[in-house]
Structure 1
Amino acid sequence: MVGGPHYEVFLGRNDARVSKASSLDGRLPKPSMSMSEIVEMFTSKGFSVEEMVALSGAHTIGFSHCSEISKEIYNNSKYPQYDTEFNPRFAQGLQRACADYKKNPTLSVFNDIMTPNKFDNVYFQNLPKGLGVLKSDRGLYSDPRTRAFVDEFAADQNKFFRVFAQAMQKLSLMGVQTGRKGEIRRRCDQIN
């Protein structure tokens, strides 16, 4: 449907008996985190910086709620107009697109404005141009630890796909439920 890399998904895993978003606090990066915090979060789990950048490439599809970026695109004490890492025309476009975010909390923008419905490396090509929606996206290009990987993935989609697929498989091995922990669901969207 959207393209992207192929990788084997391991089967026969136990699912949790309880699913709460709050259980993920501190385990998933937030868009407002510094790049140092995000790098530390991933490396502490055994991921390389290259794998972390590749996994961030999942932002090539999907969207972000305007409320997540409002502080960076509207006038406030920290930024006179918008975060200076934004391309100025892009920031102005985000301001227009998100103008009613207080009235409509579900208002959102695509993470990749060029190819929002295609899993490709255009997300990485956008970052040097100041077209990263989230602070964490823009940080990938401004941080010297991650910038070279952004450049590599922007130039070589096959390499991005290869590293992304390997990192996704590695991610799928984290926290696997064994024994009596969890269950194999009859329907994946319902607890037995």
Structure 2
Amino acid sequence: MVGGPYYHVRLGRKDGLVSNASLVQGNIAQPTMPLSDIISLFYSKGFSVQEMVALVGAHTIGFSHCKEFSHRLFNFSKTSEIDPAYNPKYAEGLRKLCANYTKDPTMSAYNDVMTPGKFDNMYYKNLQRGLGLLSTDQALSVDRRTKPFVDLYAANETAFFEAFAHGMEKVSIYKIKTGKKGEVRHRCDQFNAAKIN
């Protein structure tokens, strides 16, 4: 619907029989994590640096709440109010948008300011211009481990689409639950009644 690549999902996925918020911590990347920690997290799940960079390209659509990047806009350091990695005009626009984010926690910005409703390689082009919304995004464009892939995907949308599709296929079979280890829920937000004791 938004123009992204087609990819096969080889298997359906059963839902787990345990749902505990405390199990999430440490298993998904956070917007304030150092890039080395994110690379290690993906690696621990069997994903290479290139696959990680391709999958993070999903940020070409969607949005993030101001609280996730406000530390880059207000009192960033003793020498700079704003993170100098930001494009200055972009940072000023974000400061205006997020000025009241503590009073209104729903305030948010598009992850891709240029083409927010289109799945394309603009996200990577934005990173090259200092338009990465999250610090973890912007770090991809300067780290020696990730920059070559950012540059590749910025220059070649087909390469990004192929890598993203491959990464999503790999995600779709990660830790598949079989047999009685999972269930197909009747409602996605709750366990099936027969499983509740």
Q: TM-score, normalised on structure 2?
A: 0.92
SS in structure 2 of the partner of residue 64 of structure 1: strand
> Quick check: 57-66 or 17-26, which moved more?
17-26
Report the Cα distance in structure 2 between the residues aligned to 1:142 and 1:78, rounded to whole angstroms: 22
Q: Kindly indicate whether the alpha-carbon contact (under 8 Å) linking 1:12 and 1:184 is maintained by their aligned counterparts in 2.
A: no
- Amino acid in the other structure paired with 2:168: M
SS in structure 2 of the partner of residue 74 of structure 1: coil
Report the Cα distance in structure 1 between the residues aligned to 2:103 and 2:112, rounded to whole angstroms: 24
Structure 2 residue runs of 5 or longer lacking an equivalent are 193-197
Report the Cα distance in structure 2 between the residues aligned to 1:120 and 1:149, rounded to whole angstroms: 15
How far is the alpha carbon of 1:171 from its aligned partner? 1.1
How far is the alpha carbon of 1:179 from its aligned partner? 2.1
SS in structure 1 of the partner of residue 64 of structure 2: strand
Report the Cα distance in structure 1 between the residues aligned to 2:8 and 2:88, rounded to whole angstroms: 41
Which residue pairs with 2:46 in the alignment?
Answer: 46
Q: How does 1:170-181 map to 2 (within 5 A)?
A: 170-181=170-181
Which residue pairs with 1:169 in the alignment?
Answer: 169
How far is the alpha carbon of 1:184 from its aligned partner? 1.9
Cα distance change of structure 1 residues 83 and 106 upon mapping to structure 2, 3 Å threshold: same
How far is the alpha carbon of 1:132 from its aligned partner? 0.1
Which residue pairs with 1:124 in the alignment?
Answer: 124
Which residue pairs with 1:73 in the alignment?
Answer: 73
Report the Cα distance in structure 2 between the residues aligned to 1:79 and 1:107, rounded to whole angstroms: 27
Q: Kindly indicate whether the alpha-carbon contact (under 8 Å) linking 2:50 and 2:146 is maintained by their aligned counterparts in 1.
A: yes
Q: How does 1:56-67 map to 2 (within 5 A)?
A: 56-67=56-67
Report the Cα distance in structure 2 between the residues aligned to 1:20 and 1:10, rounded to whole angstroms: 27
The two structures, once aligned, show a CA RMSD in angstroms of 1.5
The question of 1:6 aligning with 2:6 is answered yes
Which residue pairs with 2:139 in the alignment?
Answer: 139
- Amino acid in the other structure paired with 1:71: H
SS in structure 2 of the partner of residue 152 of structure 1: helix
SS in structure 2 of the partner of residue 109 of structure 1: strand
Q: Kindly indicate whether the alpha-carbon contact (under 8 Å) linking 1:63 and 1:110 is maintained by their aligned counterparts in 2.
A: yes
Q: How many residues align?
A: 192
Cα distance change of structure 1 residues 45 and 152 upon mapping to structure 2, 3 Å threshold: same
Which residue pairs with 2:110 in the alignment?
Answer: 110
Which residue pairs with 2:195 in the alignment?
Answer: none
Q: Kindly indicate whether the alpha-carbon contact (under 8 Å) linking 2:11 and 2:173 is maintained by their aligned counterparts in 1.
A: no
Q: Kindly indicate whether the alpha-carbon contact (under 8 Å) linking 1:53 and 1:150 is maintained by their aligned counterparts in 2.
A: yes
Q: Kindly indicate whether the alpha-carbon contact (under 8 Å) linking 1:72 and 1:79 is maintained by their aligned counterparts in 2.
A: no
How far is the alpha carbon of 1:76 from its aligned partner? 4.5
> Quick check: 99-108 or 167-176, which moved more?
167-176
Q: Kindly indicate whether the alpha-carbon contact (under 8 Å) linking 1:67 and 1:101 is maintained by their aligned counterparts in 2.
A: yes
After superposition, give the CA deviation of every residue in 1:89-112 in whole Å (9 maximum; x if it has no partner).
Answer: 111111001011011011100000
Q: TM-score, normalised on structure 1?
A: 0.94
- Amino acid in the other structure paired with 2:140: L
